[in-house]
Amino acid sequence: MKTTELSQILAHTPCGEAVTWLRSLPDGTTLDQAWHQCTRGDWMLWWAKRTARTVNTPTHRRLTQAKCRCARLVLGIYEARYYPDMRPREDLDSAERYTGGEPYSIDISAAYAYACGYAADVYTCADAAAYSAYAAASTTASDAAAYAAADAVCASTAMLARCADEVRVVYPEIPL
């Protein structure tokens, strides 16, 4: 990877594992090439968060959309375990309405607050995915949402790769 591009990422203090991966890329690898090779959706959400601006902006809605797509991957696992609790689905639907243009609202904020308490009680990988869905549209805790999304997919490398693919649907090119 080019030193200047690596420095651009390192300026945002990524996790050590991501730094190791970036440094392992062949010399000359561009940021865009690294984006397309990455199999860690949680890392990609972390980076996309760095480009999101304030609430009710296109960049924040886009980030929320990517988080929602990742959370949808494991929503069925949550619902199978906690049927008939439909709150995660309802809150994810609310966050997705925000991505479609609905203004950021108290409902989205309340969904996030509920998720924080609930996720603390039932913290499995699938539950953390529901938590990330709740937190997807929160501006004050978007870092928490990114980390929750990382936890949500921690159970399998395949799920991380699926999440990465979902992020690339929203961000076909690395957000800068």
Q: Which two tokens stand for residue 121?
A: 């009680």
Alpha-carbon distance of 166 to 23, in angstroms, equals 24
Does 18 map to a domain? yes
CA distances 52 to 43, 46, 81, 156, 175, Å, are 15, 10, 33, 27, 9
| pLDDT at 171 (0 to 100) | 96
| pLDDT at 32 (0 to 100) | 92
| pLDDT at 87 (0 to 100) | 77
Is-above-0.85 flag for pTM?
A: no
Q: Are residue 147 and residue 73 in the same domain, yes or no?
A: yes
Query: What's the domain range around 20?
Result: 3-37
| pLDDT at 23 (0 to 100) | 92
| pLDDT at 137 (0 to 100) | 46
| pLDDT at 46 (0 to 100) | 87
Q: Are residue 49 and residue 85 in the same domain, yes or no?
A: yes
Does 175 map to a domain? no
Q: Which two tokens stand for residue 13?
A: 């203090």
User: 130-162 burial by CB neighbour count: b if 16+ within 10 A, else e?
Assistant: bbbbbbbbbbebbebbbbbbbbbbebeeebbeb
| pLDDT at 148 (0 to 100) | 52
The domain tally of the chain equals: 2
Q: Are residue 12 and residue 85 in the same domain, yes or no?
A: no
Q: Are residue 102 and residue 47 in the same domain, yes or no?
A: yes
What is the dihedral sign for C-alpha 64, 127, 18, 141? positive
Q: Are residue 71 and residue 26 in the same domain, yes or no?
A: no
Q: Are residue 17 and residue 56 in the same domain, yes or no?
A: no
Q: Are residue 31 and residue 78 in the same domain, yes or no?
A: no
Tokens 């998720």, residue located: 115
Q: Which residues of the chain have pLDDT under 70?
A: 106-156
